[in-house]
Structure 1
Amino acid sequence: MTNVILKQAKIIDPSSPFHLQKMDLKIENGTITAIEKEITNTTDFELVEVSNLHLSQGWMDSSVSFGEPGYEERETIENGLKVASKSGFTAVALQPNSNPVIDNQSQIRFVMDKARNQATNLYPIGSLTRGSEGVDLAELFDMKNAGAIAFGDYKKALQNANLQKIALQYVQDFDGLVIAFCQDSALKGSGIANEGIVSTRLGLKGIPALAEELHVTRNLFLLEYTGGKLHIPTISTQGSIKLIKEAKAKGLNVTCSVAVHNLVLNDEALTAFDTRYKVSPPLREETTRKALIEAVLDGTIDCITSDHNPLDIEHKKLEFDLAKDGTIGLESAFGALLTVLPVEVIVEKLTACKLVFNVNSNSIAVGNKADISLFTTTEDWTFTKEAIASKSKNSAFLGQKMKGKVIGIYNSGQLVINN
């Protein structure tokens, strides 16, 4: 256990009595023991003293892929969690897209064992269907008992509406959460970019917004029929925003997220056919990017994810139509978001998924467990390869202007500070 004094940190936490105040914090044996205007270091506490220091409740990322088991060349769980710590995240939800797919309790236990004693907590998402093949439901109840926090097939929309319905009904027996990526595979076809002016100009086959919206509509109808809880990840269209807003107004228990790259970048980035910008769902046009930001601000979108998906060079540095979808995003998430959103909103959306996934959160208050993200808000800098700690380097944010920097985290009794 590292004992720490954080000096003159502005606290961003609406649930804390010290919200928006500059205070000193004393952390002993993993617990906040004092929050005062001035705390003198009388013992051998580690001091964290940084200009413009801010802190908040620990951030959680609702969608990360680490590769292990099976794709360790892309990322390992150990290194992935170290990357998350340095990126300001005290918790991550791990996607099941490894090899083998995480679709049973032994796989859940394997990844949780690999994550022991790390500063960042790992919460596994179990595959909704066996092998993420969309044919039969996986061992959902067993995985829940082993530690799975939700169930979904990463970037694979369940085309079978009846199976989606059965899943929503079944998980209610144990308060489970279904994650439903929304994309109609027939409408998507062989599309590789947002259907619009840019894809037409570049000669790239388009993915219409309708492919996402049709599935959002279907899944919301199923939710209304079955009850239960549904999370729709990484929405990317104006129609999806409208549909989810209406569903929430009806009282349906639905939440959604958006990926950082869909908030910061638009499809004009594809002009040079750089496959780092090939993501799923695709980057949309500028008007949609602005609409997604509005949906974050008005509360329609519950949380923001980095959608961190490491891919090796053999799968990424190819012709545009052959390259795999995905970008790493942990290291760039905060700095990129601060170029388009206020810091209070970013903190709210990076901590909200604890509520969505029923993970304990700890307010910044005396006597509470220290689960804290540390950051600044004023520095301007450019994201380069030197900022990447992931094993894979497939970042859509290389060369992008960033604002503010992550200093580190304190969680699980451990202090992680960036050099």
Structure 2
Amino acid sequence: MNVLVKSATIVDPKSDFHNQTVDILIEKGTISKISKRIQNPKNYKEIKLDNLHVSQGWFDSSVSFGEPGFEERETIDNGLKTAAHSGFTAVAVNANTNPVLDSYADIAFLKSKAANHAVDLYPIGALTKNSDGTDLAELFDMRSAGAVAYYDYQHPIANPNLMKLALQYASNFGGLVCSFPQESKISGLGVMNENVTSTSLGLKGNPSLAEDLQIARDLFILEYTEGKLHIPTISTATSVELIRAAKQKKLDVTCSVAIHNLMFTDEHLKTFDTNFKVLPPLRTQNDMDALIDGLKDGTIDMVTSDHNPIDIEDKKIEFDYAKYGTIGLESAFGALNSVFTLKKTVELLIKGKERFNVESSSISVGSGANLSLFNPNDTYMFSKQNIYSRSKNSMFEGKELKGKVYGIVANNQLILN
């Protein structure tokens, strides 16, 4: 692929051209020249877009597609295309499929299905067999097949000894263990945040205590094992405090927050719209403020769309029985850019790469072209027309967002909206 990107403002603090508006010549997938103005004698395809900005390709550490087993929700092929149109050049895909991805063959299947796509797929293997929390899965074998972490998606590890063993075993080969932050006996049958709002709506509550207890437990176990832990999608103010204290102790822990927990509170459930039914649940304004502060000071390491397509049959039903989840890839940039500065937004969208062993390189001559293309100033109302996913369960529909994604350049391919 040969292409000339015209008048692009580079957003990459590690690049010599940071904040400069330049032309970028890409030949055979590699950046061959960056300059104020580049001629095009070979008549390469030119990209000229309004207020074009480029950054290192974005990465999402928690994406669910469905295939194999739940293709009606999403396929790998369309899921990766959705990621590309949303500005992501790499995604880590969860094991919540049917069957659950818990073996070498499962991980190899996922990798083979993703071959030749512009977006790189990084499989996350299940931590326990069938994600049932009883026996450890084939962690080392899955790593050999390409798994970058181990996570029973939205299934808490109830047995503390199993978590201890997982951290000890995985530390032998630098494996990253993920633990969903919820104590199930405390959360019970709760379907939203336990608060005055849940009482007024007559819905069972899932208290912040359930998350805080699980995180406190896991951090004690982490300190004992000296392992490597990632806590995905935290949602409470106390969680931020606990992880901040753990980092001060130099524990090897990272965490993420779902972007929708930075935009919405439990007040949005008053219409009983099941698109707002997510796990962890939407919390209070105080929690949301603490999460944003945690991102600003580095306590929270990364953001995720926590993209989780759910078919209409499992969403257009009574709130109590609807499945948890919202899609989020398509709205991720516009939502984040509505909360943070452009510099911080881009930083958060690439920050998780190192933790998940995703290759990263600055925008410089000689580097492989791995770029996200966008206009940070375009404000629009998010609607179904902006959704590329097969499932349409977005809580962002009708929300004003700031920032339009143009596409990506990655793996010697150009994907434009």
The residue type equivalent to 1:85 in the other structure is A
Structure 2: distance between partners of 1:172 and 1:154: 20
What are the residue-to-residue correspondences of 1:399-418 with 2, within 5 Å?
399-418=398-417
The residue type equivalent to 1:258 in the other structure is V
Structure 2: distance between partners of 1:236 and 1:49: 40
Structure 1: distance between partners of 2:20 and 2:298: 25
Structure 2: distance between partners of 1:266 and 1:340: 14
Query: Counterpart of 2:138?
Result: 139
Is the CA contact 1:362–1:370 (under 8 Å) kept in the aligned structure 2? Answer: no
Is the CA contact 1:213–1:237 (under 8 Å) kept in the aligned structure 2? Answer: yes
Q: CA deviation at 1:18?
A: 1.1
What are the residue-to-residue correspondences of 1:343-358 with 2, within 5 Å?
343-358=342-357
Query: Counterpart of 1:184?
Result: 183
Q: CA deviation at 1:44?
A: 2.4
Say which SS state the counterpart of residue 213 (structure 1) adopts. helix
Query: Counterpart of 1:210?
Result: 209
Structure 1: distance between partners of 2:357 and 2:226: 18
> Given the alignment of the two structures, is residue 173 of structure 1 paired with residue 175 of structure 2, yes or no?
no
Say which SS state the counterpart of residue 321 (structure 1) adopts. helix
Structure 2: distance between partners of 1:25 and 1:395: 35
What are the residue-to-residue correspondences of 1:9-20 with 2, within 5 Å?
9-20=8-19
Greater mean deviation of Cα atoms: 19-28 or 74-83: 19-28
Query: Counterpart of 1:26?
Result: 25
Q: CA deviation at 1:337?
A: 1.2
Query: Counterpart of 1:230?
Result: 229
Q: CA deviation at 1:45?
A: 1.3
The residue type equivalent to 1:389 in the other structure is Y
Is the CA contact 1:373–1:409 (under 8 Å) kept in the aligned structure 2? Answer: yes
Q: CA deviation at 1:178?
A: 0.3
Query: Counterpart of 1:126?
Result: 125
Query: Counterpart of 1:194?
Result: 193
Query: Counterpart of 2:218?
Result: 219
The residue type equivalent to 1:87 in the other structure is S
Query: Counterpart of 2:381?
Result: 382
Deviations 1:206-229 (A, max 9, x none): 111110010000101111000121
Say which SS state the counterpart of residue 338 (structure 2) adopts. coil
Q: CA deviation at 1:336?
A: 1.2
Structure 2: distance between partners of 1:333 and 1:198: 27
Deviations 1:78-114 (A, max 9, x none): 0000000000000000000000000000000001100
Is the CA contact 1:78–1:115 (under 8 Å) kept in the aligned structure 2? Answer: yes
Say which SS state the counterpart of residue 256 (structure 2) adopts. strand
TM-score between the two structures when normalised by the length of structure 1: 0.99
Say which SS state the counterpart of residue 335 (structure 1) adopts. helix
Structure 1: distance between partners of 2:346 and 2:387: 22
Residues matched between the structures, number: 417
Query: Counterpart of 2:268?
Result: 269
> Given the alignment of the two structures, is residue 290 of structure 1 paired with residue 289 of structure 2, yes or no?
yes
Percent of matched pairs sharing the same residue: 57
Query: Counterpart of 1:40?
Result: 39
Query: Counterpart of 1:393?
Result: 392
> Given the alignment of the two structures, is residue 330 of structure 1 paired with residue 329 of structure 2, yes or no?
yes
The residue type equivalent to 1:219 in the other structure is D
Say which SS state the counterpart of residue 408 (structure 1) adopts. strand
Query: Counterpart of 1:372?
Result: 371
Say which SS state the counterpart of residue 198 (structure 1) adopts. helix
Query: Counterpart of 2:97?
Result: 98
> Given the alignment of the two structures, is residue 316 of structure 1 paired with residue 301 of structure 2, yes or no?
no
Is the CA contact 1:385–1:393 (under 8 Å) kept in the aligned structure 2? Answer: yes
Runs of 5+ unmatched residues, structure 1: none
The residue type equivalent to 1:275 in the other structure is T
Q: CA deviation at 1:197?
A: 1.9
Structure 2: distance between partners of 1:229 and 1:342: 31
Q: CA deviation at 1:203?
A: 1.3
After superposing on structure 2, the runs of 4+ consecutive aligned residues of structure 1 that deviate more than 3 Å are: none
Structure 1: distance between partners of 2:7 and 2:107: 40
Structure 2: distance between partners of 1:266 and 1:345: 22
Greater mean deviation of Cα atoms: 272-281 or 349-358: 349-358
Q: CA deviation at 1:51?
A: 1.6
Say which SS state the counterpart of residue 317 (structure 2) adopts. coil
Runs of 5+ unmatched residues, structure 2: none
TM-score between the two structures when normalised by the length of structure 2: 0.99
What are the residue-to-residue correspondences of 1:247-262 with 2, within 5 Å?
247-262=246-261
Is the CA contact 1:193–1:283 (under 8 Å) kept in the aligned structure 2? Answer: yes
Q: CA deviation at 1:329?
A: 0.5
Greater mean deviation of Cα atoms: 280-289 or 125-134: 280-289
Query: Counterpart of 1:56?
Result: 55
Q: CA deviation at 1:404?
A: 1.1
Deviations 1:268-327 (A, max 9, x none): 110100000000000111121111111111111111100000010111111111100000
Structure 1: distance between partners of 2:261 and 2:205: 17
Is the CA contact 1:178–1:230 (under 8 Å) kept in the aligned structure 2? Answer: yes
Q: CA deviation at 1:14?
A: 1.2
The residue type equivalent to 2:387 in the other structure is I
Query: Counterpart of 1:67?
Result: 66
Say which SS state the counterpart of residue 329 (structure 2) adopts. coil
